[in-house]
Structure 1
Amino acid sequence: MRRILILAVLFASCNKKNQETVEPITAPITEAVFAPGHLEAEDQFTLTALNDGYITDVLVEEGDTVAENQEIFKQDNTNAVILERAAEDNLKITRKQASSDSSVLQELVAQLASARAKMLNSQEKLERMQRLYITRSIAKVELDDAELHFNNSINEVEGIEQKIANTKLELKHSLIDSRSQQLTARANTDYFSIKSPGNYKIYSLLKRKGDLVKKGEALAVLGHANSLKIMLDIDEQSIAKVKLHQIVLVELNTEKNKTYNGFISKIYPAFEQATQSYKAEAVFEENQQKAINGTLLQANIIVGKKDKALLIPRSSLSPDGKVILKREKKKDTLKVQTGIIASEWVEVLGGVKKGDEIIKTY
C-alpha cells in the first residue's frame, strides 16, 4: 500500500512538471561547437631515416634551434663509404680509358696509320698500272687486281675510322655511367648524415645514440620556433557549421579556467579515420610564448551569435522541432522554425511569438 502511494505521488509530481509553462523571451544567444584538440608547431613534421643503420651520434638537444643543412644525427656509414671509394676508383680508371692517350685508342690510331699507308701504296700501284695498261704493257686482269686492292684499302681505313668513333662513344658512355655511379654513391653516403631541411626548432628526439633504425623510421619532430597552431577534432554532426575566421575560445589543460581567443584558419576536407573526426586549424589572436607544443586543450567554436533573438528553453522543444502551446484549457502542438541552438536556449524564427505559453515537457 505504501509502495502504491509513493508511485501516485511521483506521478502527480511528473504531471505537475509537465504542466509547467514558459513564455518566449528576447535576449542574446550564442551557439558554440565543442572541439577537443592540442597545440602543434607551425609546419611541424617528422624527420625520418634515409637508410638502415646505427645512430653513432646525436648532435642536438630537444629545444635547440637548427639552421638549414645543420647535421642532427649521424648513422654508421661504413659500407656506404666503401662503395663510394670503389665508385671513385672506377671513375678514375674509366676517365683514363676515355682520354685521347688511352691504350685502346692509341692502338686503333696505330692501326689507322698503317691502313692509310697501305692505301697510299695501293693508290700509287693503281696509278702505275693504269699508265702501263694504256701502253698495253700489262693485261686487264692486272689492272683490275690493283683496283681491287686499292678499294679494299679504302674500306679498311673507313672501317678503322668508324671503329675509333664507336670506341670513343662507348668510352664516353662508360665515363658518364661511372660518374653517375660515383655521384650516387656519394649521395648515399650523405644520406647517413641526417640534416635539417630548414631553420626549425627541435621539439622531440625520438632516437638516441646506439639505436638501430630502419629506412623511413621517425627520428625527430621539428617545426617553426615560437609559432604554435591549434589543431581541433570536430565531429561529423558539427563540421558543416564550422567556417573560416570563426572565433575560437581555447582553454589549455595546463591553464584551467583561463581562456584564450583565436580564429579558424584552415578546415581539412577529408575525414580522419584514426580520430573519427574532421580536422581544423586555428591560430591565437596573440602569440603565446609560454605555450608548450603538444598541450591538450578544449575549445568552443562560435558558429552563431545574435544580440537580440526570440528564445525558448531547449527543454520545451521536442527532438523533431515541435512545441506544445497552452491556450486557455486546450493544448496545441505545432512545429517551429529554429535558428541558433545553444545548450539551454533555442532561437525561434517562426511558429511562436512573445506572450505564448509553452509547456515544458521535454
Structure 2
Amino acid sequence: MNIRILFILIVFLNSCKSSVEKIKPEIKPVSQSVYASGIIKSQDQYQAYATVNGIIEQLFVTEGDTVKKGQAILRVSNDVQQLNTENARLAANFNDIAANQGKLNEAASVIDLSRNKMKNDSLLFFRQKNLWEQRVGTKVELEQRELAYQNSKNTYNSAIIRYNDLERQLSFASSQAKKNLFISQSLARDFTLKSEMNGIVYSLNKKKGELVSPQTPVAVIGDADNFILEMQVDEYDILMVKNGLKVLVKLDSYKDKVFEAKVTRINPLMDERSKTFLVEAEFVDLPERLFPNITFEASILVQSKTKAMIIPRNYLLNDSMVLKVNGDTVLVKTGLKDYQKIEIISGITEQDELIKP
C-alpha cells in the first residue's frame, strides 16, 4: 500500500515538473518607455471671445469654414457706438487746423498791423529824439513819442503771444478730437470679432440673435494642417523625458496603426490635482485625417539597445531574482525594461534555464 502511494506521488511530481514553464534568456532589442495619454489639439488652437456685450447681428462663417487672419467671424449690434463714432468724426472735422485757418490768418494780420504801427512810432520817436538833441521841440513831445513807441511795441509782442496761444489751442483741440475719433473707431471695431490666424472654424457656439459676452467663448479656431499632441506624464517619470525623444502614438481613430512623433516641449509646472506634467509632441508621420480633441495613448522611448539579454518580466521574482530549473534562486542586475520584457545585465547567462515563479 505504501509502495503504491509512493509511486503515485512520484508520477504526480514528475507531471508537475513537466508542466512548469521554462525559458532561456534571449538576445534581442529592448527599449524603455514612459506611458502617456492625452488629446490632439490643432496648432495654435484657441477659443475666440467677443470683447463686448451685445446681440449677434450677423454671422460671417459656419463650422468647418476656412478663415484668414483678420477675417470677420461675426458682428455684434452697435447702433449707439456708430452714433458716437459719427459725433467724434464731426468734432474732429470741426476742430481740424485746416478748418480754423481763418482764425490764424486773422491773428497773423493783427501781428502785421502791430508791427507796422511799431515801426512807424519808432521812426517818429527817434526823429523827435534827434530834434531834442538839437534843442528843437519840447521834452513833452519827446516823452509822448517814446510812450507811443513803447505802447505799439507792447501791442506787437501781445499780438505774437495771442497768435502762438491760438495756434497751440487749435492744435490741441484738433489732436484731441482726432484721438477721440480714433478711440471711438477702435471701440466700434470691437463689435466685429475677427480671426487671429489662418485656419479652420472647428466650433461655432452662437447663432444670430443670441447674446454674447466677454466671459463666454464664441468659437474654436485652429490650424488646418498642423497638430499638437498634448500628453500627461506622471511626476515619477518626468525626469526621464527630454525634448527630441521618439514617441509611438496609438490613436483610437486608427486602431491598427502606430504613428511616430517627437517630444517638442515640456511644461515645467506640475498639475497639483493630477500630479502630472504637460508634455507636447509633434507628428513625424502625420495621419491622413485628424481632428482636434481625438484621444490617444503613447509610449515615449527614453532608452533603447539593439542587443540585450532579456527575459519576460513575469519570470522576475521580487524585481531582483530569478529561479533556475534546479531550484536555485539567483540575484540578478536588471537594466532597461518595457511592459513585457526586462534586460538582465548580470547574474545569469544565455545557457541558464529559468522557470516561471
Normalising TM by the smaller chain, what interval? 0.7 to 0.9
2:7 is matched with none
Deviation of 1:22 after TM superposition, in Å, equals: 7.1
Alpha-carbon distance in structure 1 between the residues aligned to 2:327 and 2:262: 50
CA distance in 1: counterparts of 2:258 and 2:354, whole angstroms? 38
Percent of aligned pairs with the same residue?
A: 27
Distance 1:124 1:262 in 2: 98
Q: Report the counterpart of residue 191 of structure 2 in structure 1.
A: 192
The offset of 1:356, in angstroms, is 5.8
Report the equivalent of 1:147. 146
Any idea what the Cα deviations from partners look like across 1:118-159, whole Å, max 9, x if unmatched? Answer: 424422431342243133233445424422331332132122
- Superposed, 1:26-105 pairs within 5 Å as 26-28=26-28, 29-95=30-96, 99-102=100-103, 105=104
- Paired with 2:355 and 2:321, the residues of 1 have a C-alpha distance of 7
Quote the Cα distance in structure 2 between the aligned partners of 1:287 and 1:238: 26
Give, in whole Å, the separation in 2 of the partners of 1:351 and 1:269. 40
Query: Following superposition of structure 1 onto structure 2, how do residues 6-17 of structure 1 map, counting pairs within 5 Å?
Result: none
| Structure 1 residues 328 and 226: alpha-carbon distance in aligned structure 2, compared to 1, 3 A threshold | closer
Q: Is the 1:98–1:172 Cα contact (8 Å) retained in structure 2? A: no
Question: Does 1:241 pair with 2:240?
Answer: yes
Q: Look up the equivalent residue of 2:181 and give its one-letter code.
A: Q
Deviations 1:143-198 (A, max 9, x none): 24422331332132122113212321332232122212212211221221112233
Deviations 1:204-224 (A, max 9, x none): 112222332223642211112
- 2:261 — aligned with what? 263
| Distance change in 2, residues 1:331/1:149 (3 Å) | same
Q: Secondary structure at the match of 1:32?
A: strand
Alpha-carbon spacing, 1:84–1:110, altered in 2? closer, same or farther (3 Å): same
Residues 208, 337 of structure 1: alpha-carbon distance in 2 compared, 3 angstrom cutoff: farther
Q: CA deviation at 1:45?
A: 2.0
Aligned residue type for 2:338:
A
Matches within 5 A, 1:200-211: 200-211=199-210
Retained in 1: the 8 A contact 2:55–2:212? yes
| Closer/same/farther in 2, CA of residues 294 and 30 from structure 1, 3 Å limit | same
Residues 251-305 of structure 1: CA deviation (Å, up to 9, x unaligned): 222343x123122141223235275422233333433233322111222233333
Number of residue-to-residue matches in the alignment: 338
Greater than 4 Å deviation, 4+ residue runs: 20-24, 315-319, 324-332, 351-361
Contact 1:98 / 1:168 at 8 angstroms: preserved in 2?
A: no
Note closer, same or farther for the CA distance 1:100–1:39 as it changes in structure 2 (3 Å cut). same
Return the alpha-carbon distance in structure 1 between the equivalents of residues 209 and 350 of structure 2.
75
2:55–2:209 Cα contact (<8 Å) kept? yes
Query: In the alignment, is residue 347 of structure 1 matched against residue 346 of structure 2?
Result: no
> CA contact under 8 A between 2:246 and 2:263: conserved in structure 1?
no
**Separation of aligned partners in 2, 1:238 and 1:222:** 33
Structure 2 CA distance for aligned equivalents of residues 112 and 357 of structure 1: 116
Instruction: Give the distance between the partners of 1:144 and 1:265, measured in 2 at CA.
Output: 96
Give, in angstroms, the shift of residue 64 of structure 1. 0.9
Give the Cα separation in 1 of the matches to 2:22 and 2:145: 129
- 1:226-254 Cα shifts (integer Å, max 9, x gaps): 43332222111222323344433322223
Report 1:264-343 matches (<5 A): 264-273=262-271, 276-315=275-314, 322-323=320-321, 334=331, 336-343=332-339
**Residue 13 of structure 1: aligned partner:** none
1:100 aligned counterpart, secondary structure: helix
Contact preservation (8 Å) 2:325, 2:354: no
1:167-178 equivalence runs, <5 A:
167-178=166-177
Q: Distance in 1 between matches of 2:328 and 2:36?
A: 43
| RMSD, aligned CA | 3.3
